[in-house]
Amino acid sequence: MILKTSSLYVQHKTTLYGWTSDKPVQIFVLSNDGKWYLQKNVVFVSNTQFFVECYFGDENTQHGAKFVVVAVVTDKRPYSPMTQLPPGITSPPLTVILGHNCNQK
């Protein structure tokens, strides 16, 4: 399973892309508060490729903040936020940084 973005630097709302042969997939973002936040609406564009709109911080989050994103193969829809990821196969972690023009929409 692979997750990627077009840049190391992200905006508050950024599309991530992924590939997996396993389903269903849930995407989680680890925030600076130490909690994992479930990202909604993973959209598969083929049997193996998907995309998801991810949210990083809020209007008060300073640029330069780091976030970790993982994909988890699980059919459970856990409550968010949480301190631990649900059990399942996980992608390698993807670290991204909130970019300098993060307040632009």
CATH 3.30.160 for domain 2-98, yes or no, is no
Whether 4 has a pLDDT exceeding 80, the answer reads yes
Higher pLDDT, 100 or 102: 100
Higher pLDDT, 8 or 105: 8
Whether 87 has a pLDDT exceeding 70, the answer reads yes
Q: pLDDT band for position 101 (50/70/90)? A: low
pLDDT computed for residue 80 by the predictor: 77
Residue percentage of the chain with pLDDT more than 90: 63
Judged by DSSP in three states, 28 sits in strand
Name which of 32-36, 74-78, 81-85, 91-95 the model is least confident about. 74-78
Write the CA distances from 62 to 36, 41, 97, integer angstroms. 19, 26, 10
pLDDT computed for residue 90 by the predictor: 87
pTM for the whole thing? 0.88
> Comparing C-alpha atoms, which of 75, 70, 10 is closest to residue 38?
70
